[in-house]
Structure 1
């Protein structure tokens, strides 16, 4: 009988080899984290949207894009508020991890605790990561908005200043670069956000504020040249959020898309970043540039492909590479989407885009495909039309879909919407309209706030009209509002979007018979930015702003 004798030698050899390999590999991981720069400056511009860079005069950022790497389709986090997004930018994580879920967050007053804490008992930011691993690096934060300071570990900084405005903040940064030559500097500029709130996004004054930011960025870069640091410095330019109308905080692309521009030592030139970039990837990219190991709790990934010598990521074959979207004329204006209301006249559709792409469009609300018509010349529209347009480039390059809602109505057809306007104080949700007396009443052709002039900061509106239903079936209604709103069909609540919040969309469905349905919409503005749009879709009807030619003052 042959005995199976256990021989421990192969296992011992395997264990010894494994231990040796682990030691070598582990040591290698710790020693081969390559430091790619000795100086890095992040410049964050509060409220600077990609649209601002595209439409404002920005020669400095245009040069950074040409001589560096960029995407204008990076994404912030929700909610699109400043505290949440600045925290995500410096923390390499989203609000689910760092717990900063609103501008009301304070270190001693918040709802969601951080999943882990480090120095100063807050979620670890890039500042503490640098301090823990490379304590000799000189760090500074210079910020225009004082609230930024509570989001970072100020006690470990070599220099920490809150400037009184954007000019003073930039001057402090310039002087500090020249005198102290920091290894890592974070500069925050706030004036673009102020312009968005005061004048409105996508306005000439907003674009002027972006132009000024561009000038200040140029002066900061010049300071690095004067200090002899330029050749060894990487610059990152980004933002916390964009905006729509007079505000932000909602869930639209205008609010959540941000620029991400990286330029300088060892950065690829004239490169459009093909992969997705998120707010929390900023800190991870800084850590990668300094050769640092990022905390386990971080979810951000460094944008490695922008560094010379690194390949582009292998994208899934179905991954779309974004190019700038075409612009439909008339352009969006504040809260008004592209298109518009045309009373007793035809509309003219125009589409603008770069020369490197083909723009394909549809006039029935369907997504354009590679088989859709190619836009070439202006198109006359004699009826309400939903226009969709996309840019198609080489290979997988395509844009997000640009949408426009052209509403054509004739003034002698009985169309219209009645409204009652109210004012009050202390409202945090829709008031009880039955207990209020309207300050003015009137009618307009659509359910839009801008149809009513001379509004106060806190106000409410009640709209009433009859919606013509051509075909019986299931209809879905949408309210997009900043702040609260509700929609009723035949006195039944269909959509509840109440409360104080940014531009958020909520929806509900109703089974409707052919004929006239009583449509009522109530709205209130808690303060600050405001917006209201009503959409619907139904049998054979693509999602669109409820057309003015389907709204009537009377049932008959």
Structure 2
């Protein structure tokens, strides 16, 4: 046996280890954390609206353009995840209808009031003397946190009054942790649509309010000690959100102020529940084991990206096929007695762009896009760009539907006025309204709004006709709808997409013979934004919107 030996470590080495551990407890010098939460603020909104204040925060701070939300991409579960450092599976807030006295999934661990631990409660327990304040525009935010953990808790009905009160609070109390919530951008998304002029104007307004808050922090004399974080709960598509698309489930995280790297683009993957962990890290408090979030340390000076960071394959920005997508409307379009022109725009320099028009995925041997071209029949156009090293982008897809009048194409559509519908109604027991011929399974917002009872946005619609099947075999049908829908072929239910939800996709399959088959789609809207699309895929047919030239009245 070897004799036991005592090793004495140099004092300088022990001092170095001690300092290193202490320095990683929190960034140096941060005494205040202010979070500005903008409901419904998408990366697209920041990039396309006039946002000089946010632009300056990004230029002089750190940014992550594609922070991933939790699903569904709705408000309650995402605001909860932001302040709880965990997802719905842990905190139990699984939908927007959650209430303290009405929910199905209890939190994995809870505090005395029944709620999962939040950044407010853990910071209050760690530092009871610290000033903590929350001001919010949406009253639903107030039900998500422990009231006994905050010193200041106020709700206001407008974005301006919310900002004014929060600024006054900062000046008066100089909180160690302040959180403000604005709801007007989300309202604009639901009313005018994401990507609309109304939506971008609401983002401009948010930018001006952020500027006022920054000025208030400066006037309070704490700017040089404050970390400011800009966050959102979800993005949006069309007139809503809740689905699993990048437009809905990605937001932008901006870090600005004390100890934050300037002009830095965050490399690590970031999730919405990482916000609470980052706040805890900046404030020097230990997060609960039940949290799954991780602090975004790389935004701070003296801290690096994770050593085990895996970035995967390089992401190349996809080209855009014009006409581009607008609101819910898919790229491409419906052309009645017209010949469409396809234009493809690449988004990266020194790249090549290739395309197909038969619905197959393009590769390096597909036609090279050089100039706009015309289509003479219904086509699924797909495109992909390749950078100088041959790295491919994700696919871009557009659906061009071409139909000629006088051939009997179309569907019989009927409107039904609803009353707070929660699922598809019995159409024999609901008030029947106007009928019209629709070229495809689609709802025109302006036309529907003219049919609605004043103050009542709940309605249903039914589309009936025949679908031409050219090749026998197994077919997959899909509806994407907000709210519920069902699709029937030959009187058989093929797709069940019923219930209240944002734009959601459901599928079903059926064996079909060649020839015409009765097809019916039933749809309803509970209120707010609405949308309906119907797709199919079959033998020699790529997945696509069911073409208008394959739909017949009889």
Question: Which 10-residue stretch deviates more, 389-398 or 354-363?
Answer: 389-398
1:474–1:377 Cα change, 3 Å: same
Aligned-partner Cα distance in 2 for 1:317–1:148? 35
1:44 corresponds, among 19, 37, 41, to 37
Query: Does 1:248 find its partner at 2:241?
Result: yes
**SS of residue paired to 1:449:** coil
Aligned-partner Cα distance in 1 for 2:442–2:513? 26
Aligned-partner Cα distance in 2 for 1:194–1:497? 25
Name stretches of at least 5 consecutive residues in structure 1 with no aligned partner.
1-6, 18-23
Query: Does 1:291 find its partner at 2:284?
Result: yes
Shift of 1:541: 1.9
Aligned-partner Cα distance in 2 for 1:355–1:321? 13
1:77–1:136 Cα change, 3 Å: same
* RMSD of aligned Cα (Å): 3.1
The residue aligned with 1:3 is: none
- The answer (yes or no) to whether the contact 2:43–2:235 under 8 Å persists in 1 is yes
- The answer (yes or no) to whether the contact 1:139–1:185 under 8 Å persists in 2 is yes
The residue aligned with 2:12 is: none
Aligned-partner Cα distance in 1 for 2:131–2:464? 62
Provide the aligned length of Structure 1 versus Structure 2. 542
The residue aligned with 1:474 is: 474
Query: Does 1:61 find its partner at 2:54?
Result: yes
Query: Does 1:504 find its partner at 2:504?
Result: yes
Aligned-partner Cα distance in 2 for 1:449–1:403? 21
TM-score by length of 2: 0.89
1:359–1:164 Cα change, 3 Å: farther
**SS of residue paired to 1:439:** strand
The residue aligned with 2:553 is: 553
1:203–1:115 Cα change, 3 Å: same
Aligned-partner Cα distance in 1 for 2:22–2:274? 21
Name stretches of at least 5 consecutive residues in structure 2 with no aligned partner.
10-15
- The answer (yes or no) to whether the contact 2:469–2:514 under 8 Å persists in 1 is yes
Map residues 226-245 of structure 1 onto 2, 5 A cutoff.
226-245=219-238
Deviations 1:247-284 (A, max 9, x none): 22233332212111112222223233233221111111
The residue aligned with 2:257 is: 264
1:114–1:490 Cα change, 3 Å: same
Deviations 1:470-499 (A, max 9, x none): 222221111111111111111111111112
Query: Does 1:443 find its partner at 2:433?
Result: no
Shift of 1:344: 1.2
The residue aligned with 1:217 is: 210
- The answer (yes or no) to whether the contact 2:268–2:309 under 8 Å persists in 1 is no
Query: Does 1:432 find its partner at 2:421?
Result: no
Aligned-partner Cα distance in 1 for 2:407–2:71? 43
Aligned-partner Cα distance in 2 for 1:315–1:399? 25
Deviations 1:198-249 (A, max 9, x none): 2222111111001100111111112222222222222211111122222222
1:403 corresponds, among 393, 397, 408, to 397
Aligned-partner Cα distance in 2 for 1:324–1:233? 35
Aligned-partner Cα distance in 2 for 1:62–1:476? 45
1:366–1:298 Cα change, 3 Å: farther
Deviations 1:68-95 (A, max 9, x none): 2222221211122211110001111011
Query: Does 1:307 find its partner at 2:316?
Result: no
Aligned-partner Cα distance in 1 for 2:312–2:341? 34
Aligned-partner Cα distance in 2 for 1:396–1:115? 46
Shift of 1:316: 7.1
1:414 corresponds, among 383, 391, 408, to 408
